[in-house]
Amino acid sequence: MDYLGDISIAHAKGGRRGKAVIPSETMRDQIDDLQRRVSKEIEEAGTLAELDEVRIKYLGKKGELTNLLKAVGSLPKEERPEFGAKVNSLREAIETGLREKSGYLDRKALDEKVRREVADVTLPGNLPEIGSLHPITKALREIVQIFYGMGFTVYESREAETDEMNFVKLNLAPGHPARDAQDTLYLTDTTLLRTHTSPGQIRGMLEMEGRLPVRFIVPGRVYRRDPFDASHSPVFHQVEGLVIDRHITFEDLKGCFLEFARGFFGPDTQIRLRPSYFPFTEPSAEIDVSCTICRGRGCQVCSRTGWLELSGAGMVHPRVIRNGGYDPEEVTGFAFGFGLDRAAMLKWGIDDLRVLFENDLRFLTQFEGL
């Protein structure tokens, strides 16, 4: 049992009996002892919480110093002033010690917080992410530049078309079997989402009102009742080309398309034409380009043929020329139409069409700065 216990008991007893029984020597020892302990405990308190425990232990309602003060009343009358003053100055010393220590702990906590939250102002800032052009947009811009170089303009036609423009004016009468391959979404009985950019030939010609030469490309979205897989999409893009003038020949088609293919896929690109059929061209051809992956040597992409099918083309059918407001006795022309998505895929070696529509940044950011 420590002195303090004695004091409490003594005080309690004294209080009840109203008798002073503590010898002044004991009191002095107790004050000295308390002073030693409290200053050590204040020093050792590492946190504000611990420091508060010390305060309560000594200065609280039932604290040791509080008890000492009460015990002063139990001393002989003549000794009370001396001890009262001692206890009070000890109290003040404790209060000062606590205040100083808590100030120190406060500063220490703040220092630590500042050190923990320090910002390295020399680190580079967070740059906002800057987008880049979609590969289809990039491809189209390159294509447009190449055709600008050959004197073409860009005619943007419409995506919602009439059956008349999309089919009939292009020699695809109702019931024509070639319509089956181009089923689409009908908006009304007579309007639909265009299945190809070819109706742009008619609209573009009509806008030219007979002036020559007619020389434009029609880039844009087209729609078909197709699945969505590695090589099909119900929405894709085409680039149509149309030239109408006097003395336009099949040679012009070949030369023009070769110029485009070399500009877009590279200067060593070859093209070849195979006979084909389209109701709106006569004669018609499929244009192949030498494989952009193996450069014509034969690989998986070109099924070891060295060639890739790219475009439909041909000499514009006389009836189509007439539907555009021109006289097929006076002028001739050629037209072609190819898939823009496919062209972009072949140019950059993309093997799945879907990545062009899924907006996955892991794919799209690969075209930054290209």
> Which stretch in 13-21, 120-128, 158-166, 309-317 sits in contact with ligand PHE by CB under 6 A?
309-317
Q: Which residue lies nearer to ligand PHE by CB, 102 or 276?
A: 276
> Which stretch in 51-59, 111-119, 258-266, 311-319 sits in contact with ligand PHE by CB under 6 A?
311-319
Q: Does 184 bind ligand PHE (CB under 6 A)?
A: no
Of positions 281, 292, 323, 332, contacts ligand PHE by CB under 6 A: 281
Rounded to whole angstroms, the Cα distance separating 228 from 335 reads 28
Of positions 204, 312, 324, 333, contacts ligand PHE by CB under 6 A: 312
Q: Which residue lies nearer to ligand PHE by CB, 97 or 314?
A: 314
CB of 314 to ligand PHE, least distance (A): 5
Q: Does 152 bind ligand PHE (CB under 6 A)?
A: no
Q: Does 335 bind ligand PHE (CB under 6 A)?
A: yes
Measured from the Cβ of residue 344, the count of other Cβ atoms closer than 10 Å reads: 24
**Structure tokens given for 33:** 């002892």
Q: Which residue lies nearer to ligand PHE by CB, 41 or 240?
A: 240
**Cis peptide leading into 283, omega within 30 of 0?**
yes
Helix (H, G, I), strand (E, B) or coil at 55: helix
Rounded to whole angstroms, the Cα distance separating 224 from 231 reads 13
CB of 119 to ligand PHE, least distance (A): 59
Of positions 90, 165, 243, 313, contacts ligand PHE by CB under 6 A: 313
Rounded to whole angstroms, the Cα distance separating 79 from 84 reads 8
Helix axes 135-149, 340-348, angle to 10 degrees: 100
> Which stretch in 11-19, 30-38, 310-318, 341-349 sits in contact with ligand PHE by CB under 6 A?
310-318
Helix (H, G, I), strand (E, B) or coil at 153: strand
Residue 265 DSSP class: H
Over the range 154-192, which residues count as b (16 or more CB within 10 Å of their CB) and which as e?
bbebeeebbbebbbbbbbbeeeeeebeebebeeeeeeeb
Rounded to whole angstroms, the Cα distance separating 342 from 336 reads 15
Q: Does 237 bind ligand PHE (CB under 6 A)?
A: no
Q: Does 314 bind ligand PHE (CB under 6 A)?
A: yes
DSSP E strands, the chain: 153-154, 160-162, 191-193, 214-223, 235-245, 271-278, 281-290, 307-316, 332-339
Q: Which residue lies nearer to ligand PHE by CB, 53 or 252?
A: 252
- For residue 67, the number of C-alpha atoms closer than 13 Å in the C-beta half-sphere is 22
Measured from the Cβ of residue 101, the count of other Cβ atoms closer than 10 Å reads: 20
CB of 297 to ligand PHE, least distance (A): 28
Q: Which residue lies nearer to ligand PHE by CB, 264 or 278?
A: 278
Q: Does 167 bind ligand PHE (CB under 6 A)?
A: no
From 63, 59, 69, select the one nearest 27 (Cα to Cα).
69
Q: Does 337 bind ligand PHE (CB under 6 A)?
A: yes
Rounded to whole angstroms, the Cα distance separating 367 from 134 reads 7
> Which stretch in 51-59, 78-86, 247-255, 312-320 sits in contact with ligand PHE by CB under 6 A?
312-320
Of positions 198, 269, 290, 323, contacts ligand PHE by CB under 6 A: 198
Of positions 336, 341, 342, 346, contacts ligand PHE by CB under 6 A: 336
Contacts with ligand PHE by CB under 6 A lie at 196, 198, 240, 278, 281, 312-314, 335-337
